Chain A
Amino acid sequence: MRETPTASVQCFFEDVEIDVPLETPGLTLTRAHVALFTGLTGEPASLDPETVPSLLPLSLSSGLGWRVPRPPLAVLAFMGFEWRFLAPIRIGDTIHSRSRTLTKRSMREGGVVIEERKVINQRDETVQEGKLTLLVARRPAT
């Protein structure tokens, strides 16, 4: 059995700061993203082949969240979320994500963190946004 990853590589509940904006690098959406995603989900091709499936930018935003100047959150479970799809996203658009922690609440097994997240396009328009509820691990006792 290996050691649990240490604090230097993960952001634990105690490390989460309220209201500090985190901005990710950008990602240009390509036909390859759409083909991989629709192949994986099995949804029928869209009537407009230039439009990106709605759930793809949301899915990409969770990976973009790993590319910020902070170690990745020690997420134990993704508990739920609310999300709005505000505008279509097209192949060739470049999205990034901006997030901040709204609240954190200590629980027995860890802590619940509510994160506000926006997906923003190259014209600085918010195209998708919502609030995510995450169960985050406490820093292991040393």
Chain B
Amino acid sequence: MGDPLMLSYGLVGGHPGIFFEDLTVGQEFTSPGRTVTETDIVIFAGLSGDYNVLHTDAEHMKSSLFGERIAHGLLGLSIEHGLASRGEPAAAHGALQGLKWKFKGPIKIGDTIHVRSRIAAKKDGPDPRCGLVTVERELVNQLGEVVQEGETEHAVERRG
């Protein structure tokens, strides 16, 4: 088996019955990996309507800085959110309130990415039924390079 952290992450579903009180600042999580395919990029272009040549014109991109088509930044973020929701408690149970995000490097067809995350802060929010949890996140490729990073804020329900 690989990284033991992966086992603690939960491979299916979420963490039923996780509340704001159960989360601790400093908790860290590692997601499963996912290989980004040409199909992912084609579907995202069709769905979003973003047909920028960066993502859709293989011939044009041969002579670009990247040398080939790259995934939409927001596709990477969306896959990141999907990977995180498969187990990490804040992403699985907390509605997104806001995010700050940096796109640091390209995601190319065939790259395998996973998420490293850490609970950075907990605070009260405007709704007394929920607390706000800030999570620092890194989206990492198969070479260990951080291709996207940032922080997300989630409203997580309080216990009773």
Contacts and interface: CB of A to CB of B under 8 A. Distances in A.
Contact of A80 (B50, B86, B95, B102): B102
Interface stretch (B22-30, B40-48, B117-125): B40-48
Contacts of B85: 42-44
Residue from the set B34, B48, B73, B100 with the largest chain A CB neighbour count within 10 Å: B48
A81 B151 CA distance: 11
Contacts of A66: 49-51
A112 interface: no
Contacts of A58: 74
- Contact residues of A: prevailing secondary structure: mixed
B48 A62 contact: yes
B83 interface: yes
Contact of A36 (B43, B79, B100): B43
A41 B79 contact: yes
Interface residues of A, number: 35
Given A1-B63, A72-B52, A80-B150, A40 B83 contact: no
Bin chain B's interface residue count.
Answer: 35 or more
Contact of B98 (A2, A4, A80, A84): A84
Interface string B51-87: 1111000011001010000001111011101110110
A58 B58 CA distance: 25
Contact of B99 (A5, A41, A64, A82): A82
A67 B83 contact: no
Interface in A103-136: none
Contact of A59 (B40, B47, B95, B101): B47
A43 B130 CA distance: 22
A114 B14 CA distance: 37
Given A2-B59, A43-B82, A36 B47 contact: yes
A102 interface: no
A85 B49 contact: no
A108 B101 CA distance: 23
What are the 3 A-B residue pairs with the smallest beta carbon separation, nearest first? Answer: A63-B49, A41-B82, A42-B82
27 contacts: A1-B63, A2-B60, A36-B47, A37-B47, A40-B40, A40-B43, A41-B78, A41-B79, A41-B81, A42-B82, A54-B95, A55-B78, A55-B81, A55-B96, A59-B48, A59-B72, A59-B78, A62-B50, A63-B47, A63-B48, A76-B54, A78-B72, A80-B100, A80-B101, A80-B102, A81-B100, A82-B98
Given A36-B43, A55-B81, A81-B100, 15 more contacts: A37-B47, A40-B40, A40-B43, A40-B44, A40-B75, A41-B82, A42-B82, A43-B82, A43-B86, A62-B50, A63-B49, A66-B50, A66-B51, A76-B54, A83-B101
